[in-house]
């Protein structure tokens, strides 16, 4: 029981990685999950090749969304915005590897979606929700 709340998830929830702000980020985006009111701010610093050199997050929300934010943000360091843009929900599911009920999928995806929205805004492109 409670497979959704594995040790690793709870560890990330209690001690999230990349928590905080970046003073002068190249990308900043704020988003919310309308179902639960979870809120997330992401800050990204890029190098000249548009590679993520630093990422910080300020998140309010449930264990699933917070743990996903922690894991996803850590995984994105060193990736270029182009690489991040191509990531899909499977990327997040593979990181979390826990069974998620349909209602909780949105919690898991909030961080990647917010980051991608930030990147699209940075690139001056329209975010496509069907991705």
Partner 1 sequence: MKTIIPKDIKKDFPIFTREIHGKPLVYLDSASTSQKPKQVIDTEKEYYERMNANIHRGVYKLSEEATLAYEDAHRKVARLINAKFKEIIFTKNTTESINLLAYTLGQKLKKGDEILITAMEHHSNLVPWQQVAKRAGATLKIMQVNKQGELIVDDKLFTKKTKIVAFSHVSNVLGTINPVQEIIQKAHAVGALVVLDAAQSVPHMPVDVQDLDVDFMAFSSHKMLGPTGIGVLYGKQALLEVLNPFLFGGDMIREVKFEDTTFNDLPWKFEAGTPNIAGAIAFGAAVDYLMNMGLKNIEQHEQELLRYAHEQLAKVKGLTLYGPKDLTKKSGIVAFNMEGIHSHDVSSIVDQEGICIRGGHHCAMPLIKELKLEAACRVSFYLYNTKEDIDRLVKALEKVRQVFL
* Residues within the interface to partner 1 (CB under 8 A): 1-2, 4-5, 10, 35-39, 60-64, 101, 104, 107
Rounded least distance, CB 24 to partner 1, Å:
28
Residue closer to partner 1, measured from CB, 39 or 54: 39
In angstroms, rounded to a whole number, what is the distance separating the alpha carbons of residues 16 and 53? 18
> Least separation, in Å, of the C-beta of 67 and partner 1?
10
Contact (CB, 8 A) for 62 and 39: no
Tell me the closest approach of the beta carbon of residue 109 to partner 1, in angstroms.
Answer: 14
Q: How far is the CB of 71 from partner 1 (least distance, A)?
A: 16
**Two structure tokens written together for 96:** 């979390």
Closer residue to partner 1, CB minimum distance, 35 or 53: 35
Which CB contacts under 8 angstroms, 24+ apart, belong to 109-113?
A: 109/68, 110/31, 110/33, 110/38, 110/40, 110/61, 110/65, 110/68, 110/69, 111/40, 111/42, 111/57, 111/59, 111/65, 111/68, 111/69, 111/72, 111/73, 112/68, 112/72, 112/87, 113/31
């Amino acid at each position: 029981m409670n497979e959704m709340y594995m040790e690793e998830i709870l560890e990330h929830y209690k001690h999230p990685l990349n928590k905080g702000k970046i003073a002068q980020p190249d990308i900043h985006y704020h988003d919310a999950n309308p179902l639960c009111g979870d809120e997330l701010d992401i800050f990204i610093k890029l190098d000249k090749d548009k590679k993520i050199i630093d990422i910080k997050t300020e998140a309010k929300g449930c264990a699933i969304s917070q743990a996903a934010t922690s894991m996803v943000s850590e995984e994105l360091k060193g990736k270029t915005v182009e690489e991040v843009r191509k990531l899909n929900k499977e990327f997040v599911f593979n990181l979390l590897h826990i069974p998620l009920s349909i209602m909780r999928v949105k919690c898991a995806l909030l961080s990647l979606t917010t980051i991608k929205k930030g990147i699209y805004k940075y690139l001056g492109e329209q975010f496509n929700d069907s991705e």
